[in-house]
Amino acid sequence: MILRETVKQEIETLNEKQLSRIAEYILSLKAQAPPKIKTIPFWESATPKERSQDFLEWVSGLNRTGSTLPDAAFDRSSIYE
């Protein structure tokens, strides 16, 4: 990355006082950044009962169009026609 290399080169030319100010600025930038929180996916931390309840809630929220596949769609022989 060009910017990173340019900054590295510029840092090499700074005196101690300037380096100290840069270090303070970097610390203030880090303090402004939100902490990185590693979130654990629900399916990893949930019990089987919680996962099944979540699935049932999801299914209940699906659109109910009333249309279904015809019985022939479930027949194995119709796959090869």
10-22 pLDDT per residue, tens: 889 999 999 999 9
Task: Quote the percentage of the chain above a pLDDT of 90.
Answer: 32
What separation in angstroms does the CA of 10 have from each of 6, 13, 14, 19? 6, 5, 7, 10
Q: Which two tokens stand for residue 31?
A: 């303090």
42 with 54: CB under 8 angstroms?
yes
22 with 11: CB under 8 angstroms?
yes
User: Both ends of the chain: CA-CA distance in Å?
Assistant: 56
What separation in angstroms does the CA of 34 have from each of 24, 58, 69? 18, 31, 49
pLDDT per residue over 23-56, tens digit each?
Answer: 999 888 888 877 777 788 888 889 999 999 999 9
